[in-house]
């Protein structure tokens, strides 16, 4: 028999939330992964595992930033066409971002689309600063409003979800509550989460919520990834009159996270499954292991950032004119290690440098390029390369256009 979920008080939802007595392990669930599936029509929690365990939210924090943005618009404090000035702090955020420069402006509509579709960190920081004066002040507002909505175990440290020295934590249960609150309080804006792409300054930027393309009825919400958080996902599923919110936190890979969410939605959906067949691309075989040999860094660009964004390998970037590359390795683990070793040093030389790992194919081999973006010209890129070489790093400057 189901029991009452005392986590969610009567002040938050009219309906009581119930938890299924049977807790099942679905897909790739492990002790490190948390999940929860919620029926938004009844308030029933259909199933969960480790739903109260705290995880770093990564870009899921932007759901709270978006909630406060929608609320400010609803209250007349903000307009869709209002212009937001980009600060030096916002412009310096690492990818994913819209690559805005200090002093440029962005409309509220562009900032919202940027946060939803490509998880733009510069847009999130700019919105937070615009509404509260600073990221820190806005983070306190995020946490306060989260408590009022019923997110009892969530602490926000900034609008974007980027890893912060202070605690920034949430739970699967709290993210489900936030997803439900967004649907309930902003039904018109909720449809924005289903956008697969949007056009920004003449460029079409593609999103990376891949589950929307492989599972019928999924219409948003948000992916998230940092090295600290692992791969996170909040999904909305509409099937007839039924509407579910699913949450997976702490996935080991983007694919395993998506696979687990698909399994959960099939298990708890209205009919236990969907009629649509997944896209062929979702069934692509895993590439075989390649010999562990280093490749020279001089190769062409293929953007696939995995750090501090959403952890996907097919995403649009607006790169600067020049980048530097310090290696191309056959192992993603080795590439992460190289990036970690070089990142602080590179940014100490060039403060606007943004580290990325890019996946590509060369001569039948999968490679992971370690690159840094944010250089205005060949001179700036060459200067950093010269310094890196003195520290025994390989380095080449790469023109991106």
* Among 34, 93, 97, 119, the one annotated catalytic: 119
The DSSP output letter for 16 is: -
Q: How far is CA 381 from CA 15, 254, 299, 326, in A?
A: 58, 32, 16, 12
**Rounded Cα distance, 298 and 294, in Å:** 12
| Burial of 294: CB neighbours in 10 Å, binned 0-12, 13-18, 19+ | middle
The DSSP output letter for 393 is: -
What ranges make up the beta strands (E) of 131-264? 197-200, 203-206, 218-226, 230-239, 242-251
Instruction: Return the SS3 of 218.
Output: strand
* Among 34, 62, 160, 320, the one annotated catalytic: 62
> Locate tokens 């999130």: which residue?
124
Residue 118 token pair:
């490509």
Which positions ≥6 away from 337 have C-beta within 8 Å? none
Active-site residue, 119 included:
yes
Report the run of H or E that residue 34 belongs to, with start and end.
strand 34-39
Active-site residue, 252 included:
no
305 Cα distance to chain centroid:
12
**Rounded Cα distance, 388 and 401, in Å:** 23
Active-site residue, 62 included:
yes
**Rounded Cα distance, 401 and 398, in Å:** 9
| Burial of 241: CB neighbours in 10 Å, binned 0-12, 13-18, 19+ | exposed
Report the run of H or E that residue 109 belongs to, with start and end.
helix 108-117
372 Cα distance to chain centroid:
20
* Among 34, 59, 160, 256, the one annotated catalytic: 59
Alpha helices by DSSP H, listed for 150-253, are 172-185, 187-190, 211-214
**Rounded Cα distance, 368 and 224, in Å:** 21
- Whether the CA torsion 344, 115, 39, 263 is positive or negative: it is negative
**Rounded Cα distance, 264 and 51, in Å:** 14
Task: Name the residues annotated as catalytic.
Answer: 59, 62, 119
């Amino acid at each position: 028999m189901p029991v009452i979920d005392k986590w969610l008080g009567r002040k938050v939802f009219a309906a009581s939330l119930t938890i299924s007595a049977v807790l099942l392990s679905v897909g790739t669930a492990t002790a490190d992964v948390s999940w929860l599936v919620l029926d938004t029509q009844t308030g029933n929690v259909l199933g969960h595992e480790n739903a109260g365990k705290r995880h770093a939210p990564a870009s899921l924090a932007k759901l709270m930033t978006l909630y406060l943005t929608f609320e400010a618009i609803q209250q007349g404090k903000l307009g869709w066409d209002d212009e937001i000035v980009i600060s030096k702090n916002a412009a310096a955020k690492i990818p994913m971002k819209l690559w805005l420069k200090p002093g440029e402006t962005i409309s509220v509509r562009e900032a919202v689309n940027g946060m939803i579709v490509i998880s733009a960190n510069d847009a999130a920081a700019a919105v937070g600063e615009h509404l509260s004066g600073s990221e820190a002040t806005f983070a306190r507002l995020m946490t306060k409003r989260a408590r009022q909505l019923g997110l009892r175990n969530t602490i926000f440290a900034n609008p974007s979800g980027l890893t912060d020295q202070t605690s920034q934590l949430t739970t699967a249960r709290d993210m489900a509550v936030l997803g439900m609150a967004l649907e309930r309080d902003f039904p018109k804006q909720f449809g924005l989460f289903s956008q697969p792409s949007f056009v920004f300054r003449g460029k079409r930027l593609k999103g990376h919520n891949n589950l929307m393309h492989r599972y019928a009825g999924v219409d948003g919400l948000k992916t998230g990834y940092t090295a600290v958080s692992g791969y996170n996902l909040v999904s909305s599923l509409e099937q007839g009159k039924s509407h579910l919110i699913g949450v997976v936190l702490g996935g080991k890979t983007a694919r395993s996270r998506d696979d687990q969410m698909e399994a959960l939605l099939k298990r708890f959906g209205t009919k236990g499954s969907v009629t649509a067949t997944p896209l062929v691309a979702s069934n692509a075989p895993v590439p075989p292991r390649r010999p562990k040999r280093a490749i020279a860094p001089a190769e062409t660009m293929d953007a696939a950032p995995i750090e501090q964004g959403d952890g996907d390998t097919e995403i649009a970037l607006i790169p600067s004119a020049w980048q530097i590359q310090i290696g191309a390795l056959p192992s993603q683990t080795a590439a992460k290690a190289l990036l970690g070793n070089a990142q602080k040093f590179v940014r100490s030389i060039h403060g606007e440098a943004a580290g990325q790992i890019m996946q590509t194919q060369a001569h039948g081999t999968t490679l992971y390029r370690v690159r840094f973006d944010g250089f205005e010209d060949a001179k700036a890129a060459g200067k950093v390369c010269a310094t890196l070489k003195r520290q025994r790093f390989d380095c080449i400057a790469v023109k991106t256009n």
